[in-house]
Structure formats: C-alpha cells, structure tokens
Structure 1
Amino acid sequence: MPASPSTARAINDRLALTLLQQEGALTAGQLKQLTGLSRPTVADLVERLTASGLIAVVGESGEQRRGPNARLYGIVADRACLAALDIRTESVSVLVSDLVGRVLAEGSVPVGPEAGEAAAVEQAVALVERTATKAAASGGGRLHTVGIGAPGLVDPSSGELRDTAGLPAWHRRLVAAVQERFPQARVSVENETNLAALAEQREGAARDRDTFVLLWLGHGCGAAVVLDGSLRRGASGGTGEIGFLPVPGTPGLPSATDCAGGYHSLVAAAAITELAGQHGLLPTGLTGPGPAAAALVGEAVRGAGEGGEVTPGRREAGGDPSVPKEGAGPRSVGGDRRAGATGHDGPADDRPPASVEARFLDALAGRIAVGVAAVVAVLDPGRVVLGGEIGAAGGDALATRVEERLRRMSPLATEVRASVLGGEAVLRGALLTARERAQDELFAPRER
C-alpha cells in the first residue's frame, strides 16, 4: 500500500534533515543527488523545512561558473540545546551542545562519599544549571533534551534507574531533580555501559560492526551487547551485568546483592591496582581507584615499550604468574626491566627478559580473557571492545594480549579492540541519544 502524501512528505523531510545532520550544509542539487528525489520534490521540502524554522540558508556553494551561486542550506542548530550527563560513583560530568553536536559548554564536579544525599543532588543539579547558562551565553537555545548515563540497572518498562545495591542513593534522586529543575526538558536515563557501546558503534572502535560486545573496565566492570544492530537490555534491564559472573580465581561466589567473588573481583579498578602492587608497580599522586588503575595500566604499556610484546607469562614452580619473584620490591611504574624474568611458559631460554610492566599486562590480560571467553561462548559477537578508562589506557597492547589468550581458550574467531573514546564514551553516547530524541520531535514538521 503506497504511503499517503503527508507520510511521504514526512519521510522525505526526515531523510533530508538526516543528511544535513551527517554531511553538514548542502545545496538543493546535492540533496537531490543524495536522496534520489526529483527536483520539484526537493524544492518543496526545502521550502517546507525553511518555513518550519528547521533549516536556513547558511551560505553559498561558490561552485557554479555561470549564474548565481547555489544556496547552502543547514540545520538551525541553535533551535534547541541538548545536555549529556555522566554520573559516576564520586563525580558528575556534563556537556551541553546544539542540535548538530557542537559543544557549547561543559563541566564536572566531584561528589565525595562524605556528602549527604541532598547535598550530592544539589551539587549535580547546580552543575547542570551553570553549564546550561554558559551554553545559552554562547548562543544556544532552550534546554530541550537531557540524556543521563548512570551505573546500575534501568527498568526497560519504566525507563527508570532501579535501586541497585552498592550504588549511591543520590543517583536515583538526581534524575527526578533534573526533571524538576528543567520541567520543559525531556529527561531520560540509560545504563552507562550501553551508552558507551552506542558511542563506540557510531564514532569509535565498532563503527563497522552491527554485532559486538563492549566490556567496560573502570571503577567496576560491565558489558553492553549489540546484536544485529540493536542494543539488548534483557527482561529486567540486566544484560551485561558481567561483574556477577562466577569465575575461577576468586575466594568465593557472588551473591544477589554483592558482586564480590564474581568477575568484578578480578578486573575492577581496585583489583587491578592490587595486581599491579603484586608486581611491584605502585601508583603515585593519584586518588580514587579508577584513575589510579587507568594510570597504572597506561604507564605499564609505555614501560613495556610501544605496542608491548605479547608474553603469556611464566609460572614459577609452585607459584602464581601474576606475583613477582621473591625479593622483588615495589617500585613506581615505568622503571627498568627485571633481570631473569622471561615472561614465557617453561624454563628460561635465550629470549629477551620481559619487563615487570609486560608481566603485569600479561597477568591482567589473562584475567580479562576469562570473562571475555564466557561472553564469546554464549554470544559469538565477533568483536569485543575493551572500553572505559582502563580499556583505553591499555590500548592495543592490552587488547592484543587478550585476543591472543582468547584464541587459546575459544574456537570462535573474535577480534579484541581497544576503545577509541575511553571514558568520554558515556557522555558521547548520552549526547547521541539526546540528539536522536530531540530530532524525533523537532524534525517532524507539522502539516501545513
């Protein structure tokens, strides 16, 4: 059944606006070429979108040799502002952009554990207000849509952040407080790892994939699953709660209210910092488990040399390959190579000795591969992206090590890639979702 004239116009308008969003300013001729629509149809939609205040003439192409230059049309970017929030356990970050994604203002504020619930909420909301005010001073419009990324489960039926054990109570209150302070804005919340995956798919390490898994490595750990182009949330919104995955190498099992004993105990920031200490690598001048762990991994990559050798890790007789030899005292990351450590299975040979940093990366890769292998066995995603600040800090050196171990553990071919966006992925994902929600409304011109 053919579409009605009004439906056809709406489809054509949205197609043109999407192209202007992706490509920037275009002439009517370029819109005709990219859409495949007839010249009269393009002329009608340009007139309609201009009258609706969605697009405007922003310049001239300057490409024609005879006659007047063709007009360039672009989206009226300041028609509305969008805000993206990244809520962490001890901080909040926010950025405000126009409709085409140009960042107008941004900021962050620490929220210490000593702050009460009400004070934490007020600090975060005040940050949003200050940032929105700066954006307005830079020529932005009213705040139309707010996208929030937060740890924890989001109820798939209500879209609300669930009361999750181990997360600050102010997280749940903040969403309602932002809506109360900005009653005209559309406020939505999504799991932080899911937003990071959407950003990596659109702008980062999974741009060419419609099926992949993002493993978030930061203060805690989590996974986002994208299958056949769609983000999968699960019946209760808990798809990817990989921190609760029972794994070997932990002192016990996780419980329904505590992921200690699960995969979290191997790869969360505190566990990585402890592992580095076992190898004699100590953080200097950093506070907070997340930043310290990311800095340790980044310095270890640099200390191991560019790219870092993939060394499976030698198991001392009766010992643990993740623990340095007796007598090796702690030191700061980036030091000299240890003599006598081969970093290979079996007895020492004539291969170059592995550095302390390389041995630490080997041990960390072994831990990460345990969870990745479980995900691959169930989902067969073809690609796993190591995200979060720690995944980005490990870069190709860590990703290559994990992939090498995965090949020994699984018959399913899987690429392991480092995040391109790192810790910024949550904000980017929140901004992308806010922009799409705003466009659903603003880019639907009323019938004239």
Structure 2
Amino acid sequence: MPASPSTARAINDRLALDLLQREGPLTAGRLKQLTGLSRPTVADLVERLTVSGLIEVAGESGEQRRGPNAKLYGIVAGRAHLAALDVRTESVAVLVSDLLGRVLAEASVPIGDNTGTGPAVERAVGLVERAAKEAGAERLHTVGIGVPGLIDPAGGELRGSSGLPEWHRRLMAALQERYPEARVGVENETNLAALAEQRDGAARDRDTFVLLWLGLGIGAAVVLDGTLRRGVSGGAGEIGFLPVPGTSGLPSATDCDGGFHSVAGATAVAALAARHGVTAVPEGPEPHAAALVREAVRRSSTDKDGEGCGDGEECGDHSQNHHPDHAAAERFLDALADRVALGAAAVVSVLDPGCLVLAGEIGRAGAGTLADRVQRRLTRMSPLATEVRPSTLGGGAVLRGALLTARDRAQDVLFAPQGR
C-alpha cells in the first residue's frame, strides 16, 4: 500500500535533514540530486523545513550563477543545546554543544572520595550550569550521561552497586530537576565509548566488534551487526566477573574478585608492574596503572643505544642487548598481554567479532604496543581471526559517545513530524 501524503512528506523531510546533518549546507539542486526527489518536491520540503525553523539559508554556493538556486540551506544549529557528561568515581567532565554537535563549552571538576553525596551532586550540577552559561544555552534540550555501572534497559536507570558512590545515582534526578524540560538519559561508559569508536574512531569500518575497557575496572561493549547489545539485564560485557586461571578463588554475584578483574584491573596491573620493577609518576588524574603502562611502552621502544625494537615487536633477548629498564618493561608488557589475552580469548571464542578495540585508561596507555602483543597471543590461542586495535579517540571517547547519543535523541524528537 502506498504511503499517505503526510507519511511521504515526513519520510522526505527526514531524508533531507539527515543529508544536511551528514553533508553540511546544500543547495536545493544538490538535495534533488542526492535524494532523487523531483524539483517541486524538494522546493516544498525546503519551504516546509524553513517555516518550521529547522533549516535556514546558510550562504550561497561558489557557483557563478546567483538567485534562489544558489542558496545553501543548513540545519539551524542553535535550535537546541545538548550536554554530555562523563561521570567517574573521582571526577565529572561535561561539554555543551549545538544541535550539530559542535562543542561550545567544555569543563571538568574533581570530586574526592571524602566528598559527601549532597556536595558531590551540587558540584556536578554546578559544573553543568557553568558550561551551559558559557555556551549561551538558556535551556538544555537533551542531556547524555556516561557512568560506570549497569543500566536497567527497561527503565534506563543506573542500577545500585556497592562499588559506586551514591552521588552517581542521585545526579540524574538532580539534573532533571534543574532542567525539567530536558530529556536526560544515562548509559554505561563502556557502551558509549564503543558507540563513539564505531562512529568516529577505531571501528568505523566494522559493523561487528567488541570494545574491551581496561581501566580502574574491566568491561566490554558488544556491537553486533551495527547494533549495541546490552543483554536482558543490561549486563552484556561484564567480563570482570569472568572466571580465569591465576586467581585465588572465584567471583561472586556481588564481587568480581577472583574474576578477570583480579588479573587485569588497575590494582592488579600496578602490582604486576611492581613485580617487574617498572615505576612511573601519574600524569594528572589518570590511574597509576595507566602511567605504569605508558612508561613501560616508552621504555620498551628504546634500547640502551636509544634505538627501538621496531613496530611493537617483542625483543628476543631481554638481558644482553638492552638496558635493564628496557628488559623490565618488555617483561611487564609481555605478562600484561598474557593476562589481557585470557579475557580476550573468551570473548572471541563466544562472539567471533573479528575485531577487538582496547580502550579505557590502561588500553589507551598501551596503545599499539599492547594491542600488537595481545593480537599475537590471540593468533596462537584461537583459530578465529581477530584484529586487535587500540582506541583512536583517547580519553574523550565516553564524552564523544554521550554527545552522539544526546544528539541522536534530540534529532529524533526535533526531526519527527510531531516535533513540528
């Protein structure tokens, strides 16, 4: 059955808006070429979207001719302001953008362990208020929040966890109270990092991949056939609880000690570095373990004569040909790769994703050096070909994912027929 005129108009309008979002300002002629619609239909939708306040004349094309056909139409970026938050156990980072995702303000604030729940929430909300004011945003249309912990897929709330501060759960309600007209949503930080890597980062060419988060905690995000898979309870990818060899016991329903977290989490990585004599001073708020891995990567890339081993290849002789610091760094990175490969092999054997992205503070610190080592071990351990890649978005992956999610939600509302 053919679509009704109103449905056809809605489909055409959304098609044009998606093109303007992706391509930037376009002439009516170019919209006609890209959509395949007739000239009168494009003229109608341009007028309709202009009257609704969703698009505006953004300039003229560089062509010689003048007049209506040379006008460039673009999305009204200031139609809505968005906020994205990266909420950690010890800090909050926020950015505010326009509807096109252009960042207008960015800020962060530390929140110490001894900060009470009320003061922590006030500090985080105050940070958002200041960033919004700097961006010139009187109101926020959509707010996306990235947090560690499980998100209830039915209700969208952060589930209780003894490992997270109480202010995390209070923050969403406080922001909703401060911005009652805003659409406030929360998502697991690892899932947001995966969405960002899929859209703009290391997995841009992959519809199926797994992002392995190596930081203070351990987690994974699963993207299959282009779709993020959260699981029935929102716990897909909670591989910190995965039982692995080399631990003193088994994890429990409330404690991941004894699981993969016990061998690859930040505390375990720091202890492993100490065992191999690797030391480092953290840079800023990053976990000590990330600084240790970064320092080991630096040492491993340089021998006693200042020459590297070459493209992350493991050096065969750790004692005779290299400085002791270099040899210690190599042994530490080898041992760390052995541990990471345990969890990675389990993921690969069950999901066969073809691609594994190493993210989180430790994954980023290891960069290509750690990724290469893990891939070599997976090649030996599994018959399933898997490419291991380092994150390319760095520490901004969670914020980027939160912004992309907020922008998509805002556009779904504003670009829908009932939004006009």
Return the letter of the residue paired with 2:415: F
Structure 1 position 221, deviation (Å): 1.0
Distance of aligned partners of 1:59 and 1:67 in 2 relative to their CA distance in 1, 3 Å threshold? closer
Establish whether residue 243 from structure 1 lines up as the match of residue 244 from structure 2.
no
Hey, what's the Cα distance between the residues in 2 that align with 1:102 and 1:3? 35
Aligned to 1:366: 338
Q: What secondary structure is seen at the aligned counterpart in 2 of 1:355? A: helix
Amino acid in the other structure paired with 2:105: A
In structure 1, the partner of 2:75 is 75
Are the counterparts in 2 of residues 49 and 445 from structure 1 also a CA contact under 8 Å? no
Partner of 1:135: 135
Residue 355 of structure 1, CA deviation:
2.6
The offset of 1:308, in angstroms, is 4.9
The CA deviation at 1:286 is: 5.1
Separation in 2, partners of 1:410, 1:371: 12
1:390 maps onto 2:393 in alignment: no
**Further displaced range: 299-308 or 167-176:** 299-308
Letter in 1 for 2:209: F
Structure ranking higher in helix proportion: 2
Match of 2:349 in 1: 377
Cα distance in 2 between the residues matched to 1:67 and 1:440: 33
Cα drift, residue 220 of structure 1 = 0.8
Residues 441/68 of structure 1: CA separation in 2 closer, same or farther (3 Å cut): closer
Paired with 1:90 and 1:36, the residues of 2 have a C-alpha distance of 52
Q: Aligned pair 1:160/2:140, yes or no? A: no
SS in 2 for 1:281: coil
**Distance in 2 separating the partners of 1:96 and 1:171:** 20
**Counterparts of 1:187 and 1:447 in 2: how far apart (Å)?**
18
CA-CA distance at 1:67 after TM superposition: 6.5
Give yes or no for the alignment of 1:339 onto 2:316. Answer: no
TM-score, normalization by structure 1: 0.88
Residue 198 of structure 2 corresponds to 201
Deviation string 1:127-154 (CA, Å, 9 cap, x unpaired) is 1111111111xxx462100000111111
Deviation for aligned residue 1:295? 2.0
> What amino acid sits opposite 1:311 in the alignment?
E
Counterparts of 1:447 and 1:400, CA distance in 2: 48
Give 3-state SS (helix, strand or coil) of 2:380's partner.
helix
TM-score, scaled to structure 2: 0.93
Instruction: Show structure 1 runs of 5+ residues with no match.
Output: 315-337, 343-351
Letter in 1 for 2:348: V
Residues 280, 295 of structure 2: 8 Å contact kept: no
1:297 maps to 2:300? no
For residue 380 of structure 2, what is the aligned residue in structure 1? 408
Question: Percent same amino acid at aligned positions?
Answer: 72
Q: 1:439 to 1:68 in 2, by over 3 A?
A: closer
Deviation at 1:299, TM superposition (A): 2.2
State the match for 2:304 in structure 1. Answer: none
Q: Is 1:8 aligned to 2:8, yes or no?
A: yes
| Distance across 1 between alignment mates of 2:346 and 2:256 | 17
* Contact preservation (8 Å) 2:299, 2:326: no
Amino acid in structure 2 at the alignment position of 1:142: R
Gapped regions of structure 2 (runs ≥ 5): 302-307
What is the distance in 1 between the residues matched to 2:393 and 2:253? Answer: 32
Q: Which SS does the other structure have where 1:142 is aligned?
A: coil
1:41-440 paired onto structure 2 within 5 Å: 41-65=41-65, 70-136=70-136, 140=137, 142-284=139-281, 290-305=286-301, 308-311=311-314, 339-340=319-320, 355-440=327-412
Q: Report if aligned partners of 2:276, 2:328 keep a CA contact under 8 Å in 1.
A: yes
CA distance in 2, matches of 1:171, 1:67: 54
Distance 1:2 1:295 in 2: 61
Secondary structure of residue in 1 paired with 2:141: strand
Query: Does the 8 Å contact 1:295/1:393 carry over to 2?
Result: yes
Q: How far apart are residue 38 of structure 1 and its match?
A: 1.3
Distance 1:195 1:67, change over 3 A: closer
- Measure, in 1, the Cα distance between the counterparts of 2:7 and 2:413: 15
Alpha-carbon distance in structure 2 between the residues aligned to 1:360 and 1:38: 64
CA distance in 2, matches of 1:440, 1:175: 21
Kindly report the root-mean-square deviation, in angstroms, between the aligned alpha carbons of the 2 structures: 2.2
Change (3 A) 1:410 1:18: same
Between 92-101 and 31-40, the greater mean CA deviation after superposition: 31-40
User: For residues 284 and 63 of structure 2, what CA distance do their matches in structure 1 show?
Assistant: 56
For the structure 1 residues 117 and 67, does the alpha-carbon distance in structure 2 shift closer, same or farther, using more than 3 Å as the test? closer
Change (3 A) 1:253 1:296: same
SS of equivalent to 1:174: helix
Distance 1:32-1:354 versus aligned 2 partners, 3 A rule: same
Instruction: Determine if contact 1:252/1:261 at 8 Å carries over to the other structure.
Output: yes
Shift of 1:62: 1.9
The 1-side partners of 2:47 and 2:24 are apart by 18
Residue number in structure 1 paired with 2:305: none
Offset at 1:217? Answer: 1.0
Post-superposition Cα deviations, 1:409-436, rounded to whole Å, max 9, x if no partner, equal 1111111000011221111011001001
1:126 Cα deviation (Å)? 0.9
Q: CA deviation at 1:188?
A: 0.6
Q: Counterparts of 1:26-41 in structure 2 under 5 Å?
A: 26-41=26-41
Are 1:273 and 1:293, in contact at CA under 8 Å, matched by a contact in 2? yes
